[in-house]
Amino acid sequence: MDTLLQQIVNGFVQGSVYAMVALGYTMVYGILGLINFAHGEVVMVGAMVALSVIQLLIDSGFPPLLILLISLIISVVVCMALGYGIERIAYRPLRNAPRLAPLITAIGVSIVLQNLAMMFWGREYHAFPSLLPNNSHMLSGAIITEVQILIVLIALGMMGGLLLLMHRTRLGRAMRAVAENPSAAVLMGVNINVVIAVTFMLGSALAAVAGIMVSANYGIVHYYMGSILGLKAFTAAVLGGIGNMRGAMVGGLLLGLIESLGAGYIGDLSGGFLGSHYQDVFAFFVLISVLIFRPSGLLGERVAERA
Amino acid sequence: MRNALKHLSSKGKRGAWIAFVMLAIVLLALPFFTEELFGRGWVRIMDFALLYIMLALGLNIVVGYAGLLDLGYIAFFAVGAYCYALLGSPQLGLHLPFWIILPLGALLACLFGVLLGAPTLRLRGDYLAIVTLGFGEIIRIFLNNLNAPINITNGPQGISMIDPIRFGEFSLGNTHELLGLTFPSVHLHYYLFLFFTLLVIFISLRLEDSRIGRAWMAIREDEVAAEAMGINTRNIKLLAFAMGATFGGLAGGLFAGFQGFVSPESFGLTESISVLCMVVLGGMGNINGVLLGSMLLVVLPEALRHGSGPAQQLLFGKTLIDPESLRMLLFGLALITVMLWRPAGLWPSNQRRRELVAENDAAQL
């Protein structure tokens, strides 16, 4: 088995999940200039809802693929409603408030969601049932499961769809206009509230799908899974250049690769001093170095200080 | 508090003196009353409240005065606590005296503050928030994992059997008889922490109206304008970070000596956020507000923890919601509601309130 190739495969799979979540951050940031801190929790809620639906339907005799599809649809709908609710309650009233205020309500929302999830679903780790046959393929020395192939394909498909939406439809044009200059967009007849709500809902839908992907990949769901995933996805968004959608995709994939390669080789490189449990540190080191050396990210344009 | 001090300085008004003396008596007698009324456990909670006040005032310098959102503040608390724990426990076999390790811990935390601040100060507000958050997590991950191959921090088990705070032969870990009164360990710690808290309040008060304090506030309002006025923004921001970190390290050292045990678990993101909540809820940049916020957020959850179980028993006949998660849930809800209804906090500073009104006017134009 080839370690290098295997780590690249793992990194690519993990990276496509990061990219999906990072898109949610970057879209909201592009339009509102706000870090949606609660986004990671939306991922968690998506995974949890899907888990409950699957547990409900697993004995119903439906084919597994149908169950997966139903749970996907329900969790996407729930998350879109959640995203809309978060925007409506916690962000819209504060749109003209000082910068710190919406950031703090976002933290509040994230705490509330986490604890509500803990009350509903409990503190324990849940096993996410594997509905798809767990076949694996050898790819010139590396093992890749069918679930992983599916994850990468769905992620690529959704990202492609999103790009089409952004650049080929009226809605996409409106979103880009609001990101560019909100007041000018209003004058051009764009309903800014609708655009912002749609942005949140789109991001949340992506988050729900990402939540299901990550739980299907690892087979574990936990009420705390959202925060660290959200943090890393945000790192990915910054790495690619926040506010830039292609940047989020590239950043996500890159971060996944850096992380898995780093965790795979850190033991050898440091002579056994640092082990793979330092994996989480990589994301933060990447984040800090990007912010220091290239604050606008890999694909971001240099933006002037926007106070 | 501030009024009392101002009155004192403006040539002894009698009323102010009387108020001051009465406040002092109340503060000194408080642990005895509390023990009598609620039991010794609540004196312990008061000790923690004082530690949190110190932390909140330290963070207030960074967030409230200088307007730099720091989400990893607890890391400095951790540095102070681990410094004390490593130099005063069987872990490394070192037993240095209290008056060496406490300043050392504060100094080390200050150093970490500068270390974190130096590369990140060019960043805009929310980027800074994320970087500090990441920094806090890095510190925690290292504390968690530095038990192999060389055991430094003893990993997730943490360091136990830390020396109690000791002045010569007088150990705060034991009960002492003085002037016919019995002072248990928690009472002694209360007085020590009260001393340091008052010191921190005093320093904060003096800073607020100083040249440095004004420079911080100028940066908070408009960095470009502040720079144009001749303020060395980089150094002044670094100073805010260093100062805040020093207070954090101080509180951390006291925490380790009081608790006798530290583990990485006490220094997670939730703790950073709790301290931030205290500052924001009370009113950023206003010492009274921060005091109010920290006391509320220490005492209220404890009351909920003790009260919500029995209350639920009474109402529903069983415990429906685990008091611990209810505590955090209310934390989050409080954050949201306070920000929505009073974006400047419960007790905002006058200056900040004026600004918010002005900003709203500007937004409506």
A288:B135 CB<8 A: yes
- Strand segments, DSSP code E, in chain B are 88-89, 94-95, 166-167, 170-171, 176-178, 181-183
Closest CA to B360 of A183, A104, A32, A97: A97
**Paired residues of A138 in beta bridges:** A143
pLDDT of residue A290: 79
Q: Report the alpha-carbon distance of residue B301 to residue B308 in Å, rounded.
A: 10
pLDDT at B124: 67
Tell me if chain B has a CB within 8 Å of the CB of A122: no
Torsion of the alpha carbons at A25, A26, A28 and A29, rounded to the nearest 10: 110
Tell me how many residue pairs between chain A and chain B have CB atoms under 8 A apart.
Answer: 133
Q: Given the DSSP bridges, would you call strands B166-167 and B94-95 parallel, antiparallel or unpaired?
A: unpaired
Residue ranges of domains in chain B: 1-38, 41-280
Tell me if A227 and B119 make a contact (CB, 8 A cut-off).
Answer: no
Cβ–Cβ of B69/A280 closer than 8 Å? no
Please give the Cα distance from A31 to A25 (Å, whole number): 10
Chain B hits for A292, Cβ within 8 Å: 119-120, 122
Q: In this complex, which of A115, A119, A280 lies closest to B332 when CB atoms are compared? A: A115
A residues 260-299 closer than 8 Å to B (CB): 272-273, 275, 277-278, 280-281, 283-285, 287-288, 291-292, 295
pTM > 0.95: yes or no: no
| Sequence-ordered alpha helix ranges (H) in chain A | 3-32, 39-57, 64-86, 100-121, 146-168, 170-180, 182-187, 192-218, 225-240, 245-269, 279-293
pLDDT at A303: 47
Residue A306 is predicted with a pLDDT of 38
Three-class secondary structure of residue A139 per DSSP? strand
What's the pLDDT score for residue B246?
93
Instruction: State the pLDDT at residue B195.
Output: 92
Contact A199, A27 (CB under 8 A): yes
Partners of residue A94 in chain B, C-beta under 8 Å: 339-340, 343
The region, left, alpha or beta by phi > 0 then psi within -120 to 50, assigned to residue B8 is alpha
Q: Which candidate from A114, A280, A288 shows the least CB-CB separation from B141? A: A280
> What H or E segment, with its residue span, contains residue A144?
strand A142-145
ipTM (interface predicted TM): 0.78
Task: State how far the Cα of B199 lies from the Cα of B7, in Å rounded to an integer.
Answer: 18
Element (H, E) at A221: strand A220-221
In contact, B209 and B6? CB cutoff 8 Å: no
Instruction: Please list every residue in chain A whose beta carbon sits closer than 8 Å to the beta carbon of residue B133.
Output: 231
- Closest Cβ opposite residue B125 in set A99, A115, A235: A99
Neighbouring CB atoms inside 10 A of B328's CB total 19
**What whole-number distance in Å separates Cα of residue A228 and Cα of residue B105?**
29
pLDDT of residue A272: 60
A127 token code pair: 């096993």
Of B126, B222, B321, the CB nearest to A103: B126
Q: What CATH number does the domain located at A3-293 have?
A: 1.10.3470
Residues of chain A with pLDDT under 70: 1-2, 267-277, 300-307
User: Which of these, B128, B160, B161, lies nearest to B238 by C-alpha position?
Assistant: B128
The list of chain B residues with pLDDT below 70 reads 1-12, 124-126, 148-149, 308-310, 312, 316-324, 350-365
Distance from CA of B296 to the nearest CA of A (A): 17
Contact B125, B68 (CB under 8 A): yes
Residue ranges of the domains in chain A?
3-293
Helix axes B269-282, B287-316, angle to 10 degrees: 110
